[in-house]
């Protein structure tokens, strides 16, 4: 019953599983490393929320998702927390680049990049989190600012201010990317282990994720032996193992609501890896 409840919650929040979708072994492996990258970036960035689930089962528009949940309700967000969300967002792209090379990066990070850019821009233009721009609200060119009930004016943003904002946004994003790269490079052994587990099991819950990160053994797969072994990941064998596991367990699959922005409902899907 608890499993049915969990699955119903997943469908409402994250969309229905696309079990019939055919995914190549190459894409499946890439998706596993992409999601593992998000998970590693989140787990080893202290300000990030705890990980709830990671999956490479397609839901909605995403091929895989990583979902974190805050331990307590939040009504405001610190600069450090928001910067951590940017690191989390770039974890997938960084993993692609480090494992497959810069020429093999994919469009799977498109939604992550879009949302990270939007968040960084709000940090600079709305929340006063840039030392250079300062604590002021910078409206878009042509934005109407209403004063009272009848009077309104148009605020024009100068070209100089626009460039300053762009530079500060870029600085936040570059810093987040570099932090993600450093974290994933340092913990690349955990990246490989997590990706391997995803290829075998397709979905990992918070307890299983913590077992991976603490170097402990995952419980045995029901009705299916591990297909990956101790050598290189065999994506085809792992896929068959995962399909058997899903049939045996009923597969509780979930995706991440926001690649890195669980602080507001701007994400809807997490990221199509």
Reported as a single tens digit per residue, the pLDDT across 10-39 is 666 666 676 677 788 999 999 999 999 999
* Single pTM value for the model: 0.76
Helix axes 188-201, 159-186, angle to 10 degrees: 80
Reported as a single tens digit per residue, the pLDDT across 46-67 is 999 999 999 998 877 778 899 8
Is residue 254 a contact partner of residue 203, using CB atoms and an 8 Å limit? yes
CB atoms within 10 A of CB 119: 27
35 is catalytic: yes
Q: Give the span between the Cα atoms of 137 and 117, in whole angstroms.
A: 17
228: exposed, middle or buried (Cβ count in 10 Å: 0-12, 13-18, 19+) = middle
What residue ranges do the domains of the chain occupy?
Answer: 2-133+174-249
Catalytic: which of 35, 96, 168, 202?
A: 35
Q: Which residues of 244-266 are buried (b: 16+ CB within 10 A; e: fewer)?
A: bbbeebebbbbbbbbbbbbbeee
Is residue 68 a contact partner of residue 97, using CB atoms and an 8 Å limit? no
Classify domain 2-133+174-249 by CATH number. 1.20.58.760
Reported as a single tens digit per residue, the pLDDT across 62-100 is 788 998 988 888 889 999 999 999 999 999 999 999 999
Give whole-number Cα distances, 101 to 94, 96, 105, 193, in Å.
10, 7, 7, 19
Residue 253 predicted with pLDDT over 50 = no
């Amino acid at each position: 019953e608890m499993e049915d409840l969990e699955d119903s919650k997943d469908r409402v929040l994250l969309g229905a599983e696309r079990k019939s979708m055919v995914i190549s072994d190459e894409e499946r492996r890439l998706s596993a490393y992409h999601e593992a990258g998000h998970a590693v970036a989140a787990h080893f960035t202290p300000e990030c929320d705890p990980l709830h689930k990671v999956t490479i089962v397609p839901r909605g528009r995403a091929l895989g998702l990583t979902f974190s949940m805050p331990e307590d309700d939040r009504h405001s967000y610190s600069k450090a927390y928001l910067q951590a969300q940017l690191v989390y967002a770039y974890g997938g792209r960084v993993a692609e680049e480090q494992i497959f090379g810069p020429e093999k990066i994919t469009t799977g990070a498109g939604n992550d990049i879009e949302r990270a850019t939007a968040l960084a821009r709000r940090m600079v233009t709305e929340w006063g989190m840039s030392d250079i721009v300062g604590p002021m609200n910078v409206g878009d060119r042509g934005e109407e600012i209403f004063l009272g009930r009848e009077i309104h004016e148009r605020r024009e943003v100068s070209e100089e201010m626009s460039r300053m904002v762009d530079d500060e946004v870029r600085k936040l994003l570059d810093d987040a990317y570099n932090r993600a790269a450093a974290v994933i490079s340092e913990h690349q052994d955990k990246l490989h282990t997590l990706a391997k587990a995803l290829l075998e099991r397709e979905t990992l819950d918070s307890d299983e994720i913590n077992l991976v990160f603490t170097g402990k053994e995952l419980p045995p797969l029901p009705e299916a032996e591990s297909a990956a072994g101790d050598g290189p990941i065999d994506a085809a064998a792992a896929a068959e193992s995962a399909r058997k596991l899903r049939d045996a367990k009923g597969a509780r699959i979930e995706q991440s609501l926001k690649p890195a922005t669980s602080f507001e409902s701007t994400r809807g899907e997490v990221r199509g890896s």
